[in-house]
């Protein structure tokens, strides 16, 4: 029986994970409130968002690995909104070695540091402010779960492009419903992505809907190649 046909049987821990996720994405939450909330959640985050409930990091690892079939050990990757390091864990299983983390919550990042997953750690927000990273540094920027109410704003997208080399890729994975429910993104995020494509900054490689990305909620995976 395929995964799609198995009805999800909800348990109390699913509801607890949804309550926590709702808290960090509640309507009107500011960027600093969301990050503070993640710091509070950091002790329990990995238990609540375990692989059976949240597939973003696994998908991120696979999408990046499928794109880079060769020389994975030479690619330089930045994991944006790295949290406790789930995405890096998956990237490493695919043979990637050089991975940096960008994450504004020092408590989430502390967990990633304890696991020794990254080379450089940037305790920073991705937004319209220029990061302390030179142009064209990375072969890949990947972000899973970094988009949402009070999370990465649209203005962070050009900054992502700036730090990726021409020919490099950007992979953004998020809950699909946020494209409609988050005012920052509704009628703004995809039009911005399209206009950056028309300006010749990047080109869309794929746009894929993923069922059951977070428990029963769908995700969307954007993959772009920087020009
Ligand atoms: C759902 S967690 C995802 C963590 C990790 N990528 C994963 O898949 O487990 C979202 C993360 O986004 C971070 N975040 C929120 N706003 C951000 C911003 N403007 N720039 C970068 N990271 C941000 C939060 O601190 C949090 O750790």
Instruction: With CA atoms as reference, report the closest residue to 97 among 115, 77, 80.
Output: 77
What does the pLDDT read at residue 147?
98
| For ligand 1, mutation pick of 47, 151, 152, 157 (most atoms within 8 Å of CB) | 151
In this structure, the residue with its CA closest to atom 19 of ligand 1 is 152
pLDDT in tens, 84-132: 999 999 999 999 999 999 999 999 999 999 999 999 999 999 999 999 9
56 lines ligand 1 (CB under 6 A): yes
Give mean pLDDT, residues 151-162.
98
What does the pLDDT read at residue 6?
60
Would you tell me how many other CB atoms lie within 10 Å of the CB of residue 114? 10
Contact 64, 25 (CB under 8 A): no
For residue 1, pLDDT over 90 is answered with no
List C-alpha distances in Å: 15 to 8, 104, 159, 203: 12, 26, 35, 38
What does the pLDDT read at residue 124?
98
Q: What is the mean pLDDT of the chain?
A: 95
In the chain, what are the domain boundaries?
10-226
Protein fold of 10-226: Rossmann fold (3.40.50)
């Amino acid at each position: 029986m395929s995964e799609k046909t198995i009805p999800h049987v909800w348990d109390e821990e699913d509801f607890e994970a949804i309550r926590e996720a709702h808290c960090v994405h509640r309507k009107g939450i500011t960027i600093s409130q969301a990050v503070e909330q993640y710091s509070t959640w950091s002790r329990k985050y990995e238990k609540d968002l375990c692989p059976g409930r949240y597939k973003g990091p696994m998908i991120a690892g696979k999408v990046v690995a499928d794109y880079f079939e060769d020389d994975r050990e030479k690619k330089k990757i930045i994991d944006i909104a790295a949290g406790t390091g789930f995405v890096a864990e998956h990237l490493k299983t695919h043979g990637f070695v050089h991975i940096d983390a960008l994450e504004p919550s020092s408590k989430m990042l502390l967990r990633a540091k304890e696991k020794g997953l990254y080379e450089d750690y940037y305790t920073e927000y991705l937004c319209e402010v220029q990061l302390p990273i030179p142009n064209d540094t990375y072969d890949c920027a990947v972000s899973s779960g970094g988009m949402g109410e009070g999370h990465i704003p649209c203005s962070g997208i050009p900054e992502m492009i700036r730090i990726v080399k021409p020919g490099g890729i950007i992979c953004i994975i998020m809950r699909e419903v946020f494209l409609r429910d988050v005012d920052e993104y509704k009628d703004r995020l995809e039009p911005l992505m399209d206009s950056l494509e028309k300006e010749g900054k990047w080109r869309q490689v794929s746009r894929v809907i993923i069922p059951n990305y977070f428990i029963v909620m769908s995700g969307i995976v954007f993959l772009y190649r920087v020009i």
